[in-house]
Amino acid sequence: MADTPDINTVETEDDYTHVRFRDPDRYDEIRTPDWAEQPAESVSEGSEVRTGKVEGEDDWEVTSVLIEKHVGEDKAKEQAREIVDKIES
């Protein structure tokens, strides 16, 4: 089981608190996959998971989690970690 990556940055904009775990610049492609919706929603309703694919590799990693802004930044960080744990464990 991989350790949950550290939170890189947290930005609140528009409707979401964007909890970023990995630098998006290291990825060839970034998506919001349908399969991540269930684990994300089970922790925080309305949240979204972004995944990135490193160039030349087959693996996708969670790059960031978007949590609805009304949750607040501290709670958003907790929920984002929980979502990543569910997906990457």
Task: Record the tokens describing residue 18, joined without a space.
Answer: 């964007």
The sheet that has 9-13: what strands, in order across it?
Answer: 9-13, 16-20, 60-68, 48-53, 29-31
Taking Cα atoms as reference points, which of 69, 70, 52 lies closest to residue 61?
52
DSSP 21-76: -S-GGG-SEEE--GGGHHHHHHHSTT-EEEEEE-TT---EEEEEEEEEGGG-HHHH
pLDDT, residue 81, reads: 97
Reported as a single tens digit per residue, the pLDDT across 13-71 is 999 999 999 999 999 999 999 999 999 999 999 999 999 999 899 989 999 999 999 99
Q: Where do we find the tokens 């990457």? A: 88
pLDDT grade for 2, boundaries at 50, 70 and 90? low
- Show me where the domains of the chain are located: 9-88
pLDDT, residue 1, reads: 46
Give pTM, 2 decimals: 0.90
